[in-house]
Amino acid sequence: MQISQESIDELRAHVSVTLEKGDYEVRVEHSLKSFRKQAQMPGFRVGKIPMVLIKKQYGKSVLADELNKLLSEALQKYVVDNKLDVLGNPIPSETLEDSGDWNNPDAFTFHYEIGLAPEIKLDLKKAKFTRHTIPVDKKAIENRIKDMQRQHGKVNDVKKAGNKDMLLGTFVQLDENGEILEGGIENRSSISIEFVEDKKIQKKLVGSKINDVVVIEPTKITKGHDDLGKMLGITNEQVHDLKGEFKFGVEEIKSLEKHEVNQELFDKIYPQGEVKNLKDFKGKIEKDLKEYFDRDSEWVFRRRFVVDLVEHMKINLPEAFLKRWIMLTNEKPVSPEQLDKEFASYADSLRWQLIQKAVLADQEIKVTADELEIEAKKFIGAQYAQYGMPMDEETMSNVAKSMLAEEDERRRITDVIIERKVVDHLKTLVTIKEKSISYEKFAELAAEVK
């Protein structure tokens, strides 16, 4: 057996494998004998078919199978022995022709193309990134207090709507003449007047009384298709085609009476007696907001950091090879159009994997069993907390162990820990500048990275 390698470019190479008869002959004979033991042919008992007939019927397919196995083993060994950092797997060459006589087997030569991983340099001293932060100012504290007053307030029925009240009633679709559309949309829903941005419509709604009927365009009092669909109880397809006006019959009017800022409110939000006055209350809120905003800032930064770092490092990939490899090896057929559409995202994901691999090797990062269990407990605790279901330590440990016993879950949690450690290290290699922005601007940034 002979294996040779010839460079195509910096990230691709041809690997040629020549197999002599002595490399595969014994394996082929052994497989044919195994076939003979099980093969059935009219006129012969099982296991007694002459070998010449076995070779005639199964010879070429057995030869092809054994050559494929031998080639796979040889290429894998070659990659390991030569410490090649390859992407994907070797694929048949597009430009070099294989050689060999299948009718009179002797020497065969097969040509493959391999994709090579680029060298990842972790010298990132010139890389600069921005971590956006949200200031905890008086406005943020006051807004938080207002939210708490609303959350713990009391809802009352009123006879006349104010500018912060909610109307409950039924939407009924109208035709172009302002008549009820036969077979049209009808749905009971609500309108929160303070969130209606169109001032003319808001003015029309303020002062409404029970049994009043208001004619409005639903598209002007909602934010986006999802909001409109929920309000009218319709599908996304119906939302896209929706036009015209609806009548809204007011059936109930709800007014929120905000909770007073007093000791009762303090004790509802914090442990009883922990906050004794407004100054303490604002101090606790400020501390909580700082922690909350900092967690949000870090989450957004880390998500954006990965994307921006990949872009900054400008890692070259053997794209032509990778596209061919995907087309040849994907379980489901991939069209050229689909590949072109999705390749950029795949390529950036691969670049991030290569960066992580380089950091893991450079820092010898490992994940311990204790770290896996701690991470699993965090995940389980957060999941159960969403449903208001606290869990004792022993139960949580048992659930975590059950989760980690599943290979897919264990791998997923391992990946989470590894990525966190990799990002933590990469942050020490770059320059990070903090920039304070408004909560509204920060919300826009957060929406971009979800």
Residue 137 placed within a domain: no
- Residues 87, 188 within the same domain: no
Do 192 and 293 reside in the same domain of the chain? Answer: no
The verdict on residue 209 lying in a domain is: yes
User: How much of the chain exceeds pLDDT 90, in percent?
Assistant: 79
Are 323 and 434 part of one and the same domain?
yes
Q: What is the pLDDT of residues 376-401, one digit of tens each?
A: 999 888 887 766 667 788 888 999 99
CA-nearest of 121, 99, 21 to 66 is: 21
240 shares a domain with 386: no
Same domain, 313 and 363: yes
When pLDDT is averaged across residues 128-157 and rounded to a whole number, the result is 93
Band (124; pLDDT cuts 50, 70, 90): very high
Q: Are residues 423 and 314 in the same domain?
A: yes
Q: Average pLDDT of 53-80? A: 92
In a domain, 149, yes or no: no
Could you tell me if 97 and 208 lie in one domain?
no
Residue 91: CB atoms within 10 A of its CB come to 16
Last residue of a domain, one of 116, 144, 164: 116
**pLDDT value, residue 225:** 84
- Is residue 94 in a domain? yes
Residue-averaged pLDDT of the chain: 92
Give burial (CB, 10 Å; 0-12/13-18/19+) of 181: middle
Q: Are 212 and 204 in contact (CB under 8 A)?
A: no
Sequence-ordered list of residues with C-beta below 8 angstroms from that of 207, at least 6 positions apart, any chain: 160, 161
Say yes or no: 252 and 306 in one domain.
Answer: no
Q: What is the CATH classification number for the domain harbouring 20? A: 3.30.70.1050
Question: Can you point out the beta strands (E) in 269-405?
Answer: none
Other residues' Cβ atoms within 10 Å of the Cβ of residue 160:
13
Average pLDDT over residues 416-428: 96
Whether residues 171 and 292 fall in one domain:
no
Q: Hey, how many other C-beta atoms are within 10 angstroms of the C-beta on 419?
A: 14
- 253 with 292, same domain? no
Query: Is the same domain home to 243 and 304?
Result: no
Q: What is the mean pLDDT of residues 337-361?
A: 95
Q: Is the pTM of this model over 0.85?
A: no
146 C-beta neighbours (distance < 10 Å), count = 12
Is pLDDT larger for residue 322 or for residue 235?
322
Residues 300 and 173 in one domain: no
> 127 — phi, psi (to 5°)?
-80, 125
Q: State the pLDDT at residue 114.
A: 97
Structural domain count, the chain: 3
Residue span of the structural domain in which 19 resides: 2-116
In a domain, 341, yes or no: yes
CA separation for the pair 212, 214 (Å, rounded): 7
DSSP element (H, E) containing 108: strand 108-116
Of 116, 132, 167, the residue that ends a domain is 116
